[in-house]
A and B are shown apart, each in its own frame.
Chain A
Amino acid sequence: MIAAFDLVLLLFVLICAIAAISVKDLLSAVIILGAYSFFMCLLWAEMGAVDVAFTEASVSAGIGTVLFIAAVSKTKRRSKD
């Protein structure tokens, strides 16, 4: 547990979260959400939760992003806010 590494990762996670909800293009928002999930996975690996980290990397960042992209491709890509 290194405090500087932890702080930098938390900062990246915050930036990704703010970018994911403020981007107007839905496909970009979904890809940024995938990056957010991978940073979260690094954060958990750093805390010692390796099982949670690889479950997050495979299930949430993999299957979740695929489901989001499928839904966006079936509907509209632009959003108003």
Chain B
Amino acid sequence: MRVLALLTVILTGILLFFGTQDMPNWADPNSPASIHVSPRYIEKTLEETATPNVVTSVLADYRSYDTLGETTVIFTAGVACMLILRIRRRRRE
């Protein structure tokens, strides 16, 4: 069983290793992720949101519905933890 797991892991690693040949070089300023969408956010964030920190302005202004959904996820996780631990205790008594 352990040999089978090791074999699966090594196979996945070899596949991903061949996948890295098509990735852009590390810290390349002209990689596709850096030249398409993000310059618009960096250049416009000061005049549109008046916040110098770009990460904060995207997180709480452009994508604030995403952050609202994230708080829903945390709330659901807390309620799920409470329910799981409470049911077990009641059944044991």
Contacts and interface: CB of A to CB of B under 8 A. Distances in A.
Judged by CB atoms under 8 Å, the answer to whether A and B touch is: yes
Contacts of A1: 27
Interface in B23-74: 27, 53, 55-56
Interface residues of B, number: 4
Interface string A34-63: 000000000000000001000000000000
Nearest to B54: A51
4 contacts: A1-B27, A51-B53, A51-B55, A51-B56
Interface residues of A, number: 2
Interface of B: 27, 53, 55-56
Contacts of B56: 51
Interface of A: 1, 51
Contacts of A51: 53, 55-56
Nearest to A67: B81
A1 B29 CA distance: 13
A7 B39 CA distance: 29
Nearest to A1: B27
Contacts of B53: 51
A63 B5 CA distance: 31
Nearest to A47: B27
B52 to A, nearest CB: 13
A63 to B, nearest CB: 11
Contacts of B27: 1
